[in-house]
Amino acid sequence: MPKKLSEDIKKEIESLVKEINYHNYRYYVLDSPVITDEQYDKLYRRLVELEEMSGYVLPDSPTGRVGAPPLEKFAKVRHSMPMLSLDNAFNYDELREFDRRIKRLLGAAEEIEYTVEPKYDGLAIELTYAGGLLDRASTRGDGYEGEDVTRNIKTIRAAPLKIEPDECPGVIDIRGEVYMELEEFRKLNRHREDEGLPAFANPRNAAAGSVRQLDPAVTAKRKLYLACYGAGVSEGVDFGSQSDFIGWLKRKLFPTPAVFETASGIESAIDAVKRIEQMRDGFGFETDGAVIKVNDFGLQRKLGSKTREPRWAIAYKFQAHVATTRIVDIQGSVGRTGVITPFAVFEPVRIGGVTVSKSTLHNWDEIKRKDIKIGDTVVVERAGDVIPHVLMVVREKRTGRERDFPIPRHCPACGSNVVREEGEVAVKCIALGCPAQVREKIIHFASRNGMDIEGLGEKNVELLHSRGLIKGFEDIYRLRKEDFLALPRFAEKSASNMINAIERSKTATLARFLYSIGIIHVGEYAAKQLARNFAVLEDLYNVTPERIMAIKQMGEKIANAVAAFFSDKKNMETLETLKLLGLKIQNPDFTARKKKLPLEGITFVITGTLPRPRKEVEDMIEALGGRASSSVSAGTGYLVAGENPGSKLAKARQLGVKTITYGELEKMLREGQGSPTLF
């Protein structure tokens, strides 16, 4: 590479890193972006392109936030200064006693200046910067020793990777709290329940669980935030007070507490606490109190610490939003993926100004763990002041008339049999016609990778379902042109186009059809494997798990799911109805199984732009027995790098995955089509 060009690239990379980090600060800390997502993505893609071209990656590059290879375990870290916990106060008189104690220890008669800030309910963390760069991040642990979670903390975009050089200490420990906002917490729990995973009890547990993932890629997928409020060791920079320190953090683009006030005297501090408590329900995060600190660092040093708490700070705990009520019933609700979630129906009770009458119980393992029965008196909390949550059963109130709520054998929405896989907490309905799942199932059925019914997307499915025109897959093929003409947004041409698209979809391959009907655990690859091993759809009727497991790369979960689906009477009736309505299923994949496929067992991942549509290339790979995946792992056979490859290229290099060009893939495909012994 010419020297001048190399210098130009270096300068452009340095400029892009600085610009993108600034925009991350605007978006994730100030919540005030000044560019669009599209403009941000353009800058980010350009940085990735230049880094991969030149190999020049700055230590504070935002591309380093995407995660890293999984760890086997977390290393232990000794804190340079102990991370102490705080003493608690539960009423204002205890705060006044705290103030009297401070004055007595200092021998002071004048009013003490305090700072007041919200107490974040998250995971305490310490960020250690050396020479301005984030060197290590560790959890609080027992206060003296924590765990090294550096790679996970780097995925949090609000955490600065670098402190700008002016006023930059040699080494400084910045302390704060990693937390999850309430909306993200709710989304994460909905997703986990749909996947049959146990829900997190509260945002604090969700944040802690996310930071303590051995695979940083999992942490990167969860939206975590950071609030910085304290310092440990500091070399080269002296702070006179807590307010000076918070001002320095803001200048260095660190996220700081949402509210920060100084107060002269304890009564002014109590007024600030009251204001924070009034704002509590408006915060997007969970807070369980307010923290009061002596502002002057010189006075803090004089006051010192007890064994586990500093004498110069105290946490005022807000009154918990809890109440006691009785469970009058336990019922099951069916989610969009068929997962049945138990929920409790209470005698209505007011908690924190809101009347609560229901609460999710998450799953049957949770019911068993807490020993919850219908008729029990329970303590209910509004977790995050939003979500009702059963904390515990008041067993002393039991009368002997309480009764268990067993795992249902039939779906509460449609009456079909349910399945619960061994080792799984989720109970699922697998019926095609389940009304609780029907809209999502139809959307999936009609999708591009399913039956590819052009125009039958989410909005039109919602419209048809709301008018009672479709209640299951089979109803799609009963629709008439007149049905569409009676709907808003449809005219003669658009109605004709819809009918033509539905008619075209009546001829489908077995692989596409098996994917479209939404069998649990059966994605495009598994559907293709089934099609290669079963000549016609009817060969799958009443199939045994053992027959499925005999197919290479088909595990027990897929086998049990397929066997359960094709032994369900209602599912068989739906499939037969579809055939009567004119659905014709062809299976060109089965003939291919007469010979060994050349790419069988090899996984390909594509990154960057290819000369032809990616889906078309993936179909060609799978036609020769290969598997097209969206993520790089140690099991990936080849990474196909097109123009402007993304971060997958760097991950492939880290894992030692072989990288090939599109031309090399094309050669493989040509040879594979003519030779069954490519490898």
Catalytic residues: 119
Residue 204 amino acid letter: R
Q: Which two tokens stand for residue 596?
A: 């060994």
Contact 294, 102 (CB under 8 A): yes
DSSP 582-622: T-EEE-HHHHHTTS--TTTT-EEEEESB-SS-HHHHHHHHH
Tokens at 186, concatenated: 């709710």
Instruction: Tell me how far apart the alpha carbons of residues 546 and 335 are, in angstroms, rounded to a whole number.
Output: 29
Distance CA 538, CA 284 (A): 53
DSSP 4-68: HHHHHHHHHHHHHHHHHHHHHIIIIISS--SS-HHHHHHHHHHHHHHHHHH----TT-GGGGG--
The dihedral region occupied by 384, where left means phi > 0, alpha psi between -120 and 50, and beta the remainder, is left
Beta strand pairing status for 261-264 and 638-641? unpaired
CB-count exposure of residue 43 (10 Å: 0-12, 13-18, 19+): middle
Q: Which of 175, 308, 177, 150 is nearest to 233 (CA)?
A: 175
Which helix (H) or strand (E) segment is 238 a member of? none
- Alpha-carbon span 163 to 169, nearest angstrom: 9
- Token readout for 474 is 């089979």
Query: CA distances (Å), 145 to each of 122, 126, 241, 586, in order?
Result: 18, 11, 27, 63
